[in-house]
Amino acid sequence: MRRKLLAFLVVLGALLVMAAQCPFDPDLPDPGPGPEPDPTPTPGEIMFFDDFNNGVSSSFGLSSGTWEEVGGEIHPLTDDASAFVTVGDSWTDYEASADFRYDDLEDLGHSSRRGLAVRVNGQRKVVFWGTSGKMWFDEYQPDEAPYRKRMGNSVNEPMPLVCSVRVRVSGNRFQAFVNDVLILEAEDANNRYPSGTTGIEVHDDHSWEDAAEKSFFDNFLVRELE
């Protein structure tokens, strides 16, 4: 009896192995590989996008300084310049992102600032800045002194010459990502920045000739947070 049971188990095992190796029914669609995990989940629907391939959108206001579009990118021609989405004054929770690039600037000794601004309401705003030496958040209050002050901590690491920058604002929380890595978090403790548009800024304190003008920006995207 034991020999018969053993023989049955051996045959059953062989059949299971053959079934596992059997190819898919050709009349059935190939399911293909399973979905890959998304390392950067989509926050929500697109609120604004401009890749500057056809010039600059009328909804992307070149607010200060002088800008030009070259080869599907925009860059400033002045040491101080800003550009904001003109239709976002009432926006609250969103994620803004853009590609940052320096052109022909190999020496990291410059101190030109490149920034992504959020919750912009007139002169009231929060900006995530990066230079060759550090990255940080500044908050701007036109009716207070000092007008500009640090929000939260800074990171003593250089912003890469070429990188993707994302700033997420949800409630009173601000998060900055560089190349999809969370770099900094800050909090608006007094809820002074409840809503506002978003954009890009540059500033050069003249310690490095033409550094700001070598800043290029592309693929400005704003997504609503779910």
pLDDT grade, residue 212 (50/70/90)? confident
| Rounded Cα gap, residues 165 and 168, in angstroms | 10
Whether the per-residue pLDDT at 30 is higher than 80: the answer is no
For the chain, the farthest-separated pair of C-alpha atoms sits apart, in whole angstroms, at 95
| Rounded Cα gap, residues 109 and 21, in angstroms | 61
CATH fold group of domain 46-224: Jelly Rolls (2.60.120)
- Give the DSSP letter string of 153-169: EEE-SPPPSEEEEEEEE
| Rounded Cα gap, residues 220 and 52, in angstroms | 9
Residue 163 near residue 177, CB atoms below 8 Å: no
What whole-number percentage of the chain has pLDDT above 70? 75
169-201: per-residue pLDDT in tens?
999 999 999 999 999 999 999 999 999 999 999
| Rounded Cα gap, residues 109 and 133, in angstroms | 8
Cis peptide bond prior to 146, omega within 30° of 0: yes
Q: Phi and psi at residue 28, in whole multiples of 5°?
A: -100, 145
Whether the per-residue pLDDT at 213 is higher than 90: the answer is no
